[in-house]
Chains A and B, each alone.
Chain A
């Protein structure tokens, strides 16, 4: 009985822990589908975590916090878009700059707002929403149907993103821009605008993912709250082959591993906790190593586009 409860707890927790990466990876998938490699995801996540936290802390309203998270991350994403699409600088350098700017800015603004405190300020998080009837199903119920709203939003986002990319006109434009921007351009698609849009949407998603960390998982903010999850999201996009359906599997794997190692710690194993903590980082590396050969990135990924360039 205890084992069952533990397993249910771990799986449910695994779903929760996959959400930040899921949001960030889905967003990054959209951005990369338009041909832009956004290495600044980590920075956008952490800005989202901070802005979301601040918004909720100041107004007491989580919805406002989420909006601020999306907004803050979107601002950073606009800067990334400006650098990548308008200035057409090296996208790797731009992404790294945005990442470090996001990290520095979040830390700076947080410390300026709260100073050095022994007890970190915290906020009241979501109450879980129990879906009637469904959450009573043994085992599956608590795992799937007793979560906070953002998880449902995140899971909903998977089919939404898929349909958006593959069944809508805008999605087709984004994909074409990412594969053959010149083709899109000659057919009247505004390549620059589409890329801006894709990057900003991606950033907003990443912001939501970061906000989930501060608003739901921890209820507070700390400088290292994202702990590299933005980077893991980048890996997830690659081994999800730029398709939302596979990306969710990658995010879930990460979440499960994370929850699993936390569970192991809780049961008091002899393995030093640091090695367990390493698992979420080693796993993406291993998976990348195993699947890299067959990766089919959007053809124009990370190549800046200039109309009329010969």
Chain B
């Protein structure tokens, strides 16, 4: 679909980029027409971020050429990209929290007043841009105190400040409530009206349909086609993106049983976050054996803190945590685990595993101190090895580099299997799973879900904390929404309604009609 159009402002041809053995982009073709919103769609690892990072000068491709506004260019660094009018807003904001909005925006610029910071004119320009595009910010505010939505506005202004006409947004809605999302889309539209062209990286089909003019689908590093959004639909796109038809709804095996007594009770718990601010506020939850309770919510509303107070990694100021009838409030992680808790942490590489250890060492991290894995002083390596072999086979862990080699080189999916193997082989009564499928491809994610469902059949109570609403809707028996450290509401799966959940995620407790959405998070 060659569009030799004079309004084509970016053309990337034959882009190939490798990281070691992995081909992140394989002969990719991509173009951007002036004034459009072009969505780049694909799953995790499809190569979307890599392609745009190349356009932004962060990576150099091994093959292919890039034309910007008709001229062939070589982008060696973000500076080159900015000079050509291209800027990128990353999924994980690149902001310096202790600095002000102004400081975050003007760093790296070459201003007229060469040596000293020109705060005054920067402030003026920021307010101008803010007005022009409808992005409310306070230039003097400390970024660390802003909400996620406000921080994103800072990121966008940071890009606009550099007189760009091409804006790349990488998964911009991953941290927003549905209402903030809507506000963002309106902003995008107004930016396009002002002459900007936008590339929008996402893996969410509804967004593509809602906001884009055209969409390019990537899968496994290859570009599978560019389509006019008006001429396609979600199902078609999903098929191209995944390579098979989406399973619309998972059939859960009917519950083996549901215990009468809860296996996990959280009663009226309050706790501080890392900045010593009261973050969990009188939070109460209950999970019965044999059920999955999904916690939905926008990142940063207390999910990590919740997981940590249950597992003992964070102190509770008031309230109680009870596992299977036993009081475990503020006990050590060790004794809480002994009470029957398994915890699949959000960050498997930083927390869940010791990357320089072997598979067997990682598998016995939580039980090395007792029989049969050790005696009074010494470890029993043969026993440990036997156990490891069993788990590797039970959990189908692949890519094991060698019995004593570090697990560092293994894939994300297999690393997660090690964590699962360790945690789930304890026959736990309660499982806390925090973003258990983050960064995994569809096959690995399915495996994790199956494992959790199997534990559910065995009578375990599972707390599934996830940023992926689809995941929660699929496998939870009940769904709770967390917002600013409290539970806003709990629904049975059958009764769950996305709009309602979205509103609760954004903090609105009462039902509103759709005309009254103001977009910004209440502060």
Contacts and interface: CB of A to CB of B under 8 A. Distances in A.
A/B: CB atoms within 8 Å of each other:
yes
A130 interface: no
A182 B115 contact: no
A179 B58 contact: no
B447 to A, nearest CB: 24
Given A176-B96, A182-B94, A169 B77 contact: no
Given A169-B115, A185-B78, A179 B99 contact: yes
A188 B108 contact: yes
A216 B56 CA distance: 53
A189 to B, nearest CB: 4
Interface in B290-318: none
Contact of B107 (A173, A182, A296): A173
Interface in B65-95: 77-79, 82, 88, 90, 94-95
Given A176-B103, A183-B94, A186-B56, 13 more contacts: A169-B114, A172-B107, A175-B96, A176-B107, A182-B94, A185-B78, A186-B90, A187-B82, A187-B107, A187-B108, A188-B77, A296-B98, A308-B58
B172 to A, nearest CB: 16
A34 to B, nearest CB: 13
A169 B116 contact: yes
A6 to B, nearest CB: 44
Contacts of B98: 179, 296
B79 A188 contact: yes
Nearest to A166: B117
A261 to B, nearest CB: 37
14 contacts: A169-B111, A169-B114, A169-B115, A172-B117, A183-B95, A183-B96, A186-B58, A186-B88, A186-B94, A187-B107, A188-B77, A189-B107, A299-B97, A308-B59
Interface of B: 56, 58-59, 77-79, 82, 88, 90, 94-99, 103-104, 106-109, 111, 114-117, 158
A184 interface: yes
Contacts of A184: 107-108
B510 to A, nearest CB: 39
A168 interface: yes
A80 to B, nearest CB: 25
Task: Report the 9 A-B pairs with minimum CB-CB distance, sorted nearest first.
Answer: A188-B79, A183-B94, A187-B108, A179-B96, A189-B108, A176-B107, A186-B78, A188-B108, A180-B96
Nearest to B93: A183
A169 B99 contact: no
Contact of B117 (A167, A186, A189): A167
A299 B108 CA distance: 19
A168 B117 contact: yes
Interface residues of A, number: 23
A186 B59 CA distance: 11
Question: Among the interface residues A175, A183, A184, which one has the most CB atoms of the partner chain B within 10 A?
Answer: A183
Interface in A156-194: 167-173, 175-176, 179-180, 182-189
Interface of A: 167-173, 175-176, 179-180, 182-189, 296, 299, 307-308
Contact of B108 (A167, A168, A171, A173): A173
Main SS at interface, chain B = loop
B116 A176 contact: no
Nearest to A296: B98
Contact of A175 (B56, B99, B114): B99
Contacts of A182: 94
Nearest to B78: A186
A179 B100 CA distance: 13
Question: Among the interface residues B58, B79, B90, B94, which one has the most CB atoms of the partner chain A within 10 A?
Answer: B94
Contact of A169 (B58, B95, B96, B117): B117
A299 B106 CA distance: 19
Contacts of A179: 96-99
Nearest to A170: B115
B488 to A, nearest CB: 32
Nearest to B113: A169
Contacts of A188: 77-79, 82, 108
A106 B95 CA distance: 43
Contacts of B115: 168-170
Contacts of B94: 180, 182-183, 186
A144 to B, nearest CB: 29
A140 B78 CA distance: 54
A305 to B, nearest CB: 13
B110 to A, nearest CB: 8
A188 to B, nearest CB: 4
Contacts of A170: 115
B60 to A, nearest CB: 9
Nearest to B119: A167
B181 to A, nearest CB: 24
A81 B353 CA distance: 32
Question: Among the interface residues A176, A182, A184, A296, which one has the most CB atoms of the partner chain B within 10 A?
Answer: A176
Contacts of B56: 186
A172 B104 CA distance: 9
Contact of A180 (B59, B77, B95): B95
A187 B78 contact: yes
A6 B117 CA distance: 46
Question: Among the interface residues B97, B111, B115, which one has the most CB atoms of the partner chain A within 10 A?
Answer: B115
A207 to B, nearest CB: 25
Contacts of B106: 172
Contacts of B103: 172, 176
Contacts of B78: 185-188
A184 B77 CA distance: 12
A167 B104 CA distance: 14
Contacts of B82: 187-188
Nearest to B94: A183
Contacts of B90: 186
